[in-house]
Amino acid sequence: MAKIVVSRPPEDGRIRRIARGILSLAKGMGVTMGYFLRPSRVVTEQYPENRKTLKMTERFRGNLEMVHDENGEHDCIACGMCERACPNASISVLPTKSLAGKKVLGQYLWRMDSCTLCGLCVEACPTNALRMGREFENATDDRKTLVRVLNRKEGRS
């Protein structure tokens, strides 16, 4: 007498995975259609169109800036702490001597092309003479414009 063996398909969950995939696709399309039907709910910044009204967040780290007062003077003492804190040597502090023989800042060079905008230079500054600005549009076709002198006053280098 021969035994009849009924074989079942393997229970590997293919149907379950397909159903989960279809459900996930439906959820994603639901979110997309919701934004399509109610565009006022869109949370994405419409960048080129809203350039005039775009405000960056408080903690945004843009270009490095030297803080100047209303007379155009800065508080940098040319100590070089920011230069030492920079992980990829994007900062060059070039001190000079004043007429009284005291060390003062001659030029503060910032190489934006190699800067990672990490903010370590701002944290290392003992006089709070540096800050991270809000400017973010830095596209250029001339590499020379990516090296900036931050302590430049109006009308003099």
pLDDT digits (tens, 9 = 90+) for 107-139: 999 999 999 999 999 999 999 999 999 888 888
Give the residue with greater pLDDT, 52 vs 21.
Answer: 21
Other beta carbons within 10 angstroms of residue 101's beta carbon come to 6
CATH class of 64-149: alpha beta
Helix (H) or strand (E) holding 66: strand 64-66
In the chain, pLDDT over 90 holds for what percent of residues? Answer: 46
Q: Boundaries of CATH 3.30.70.3270 in the chain?
A: 64-149
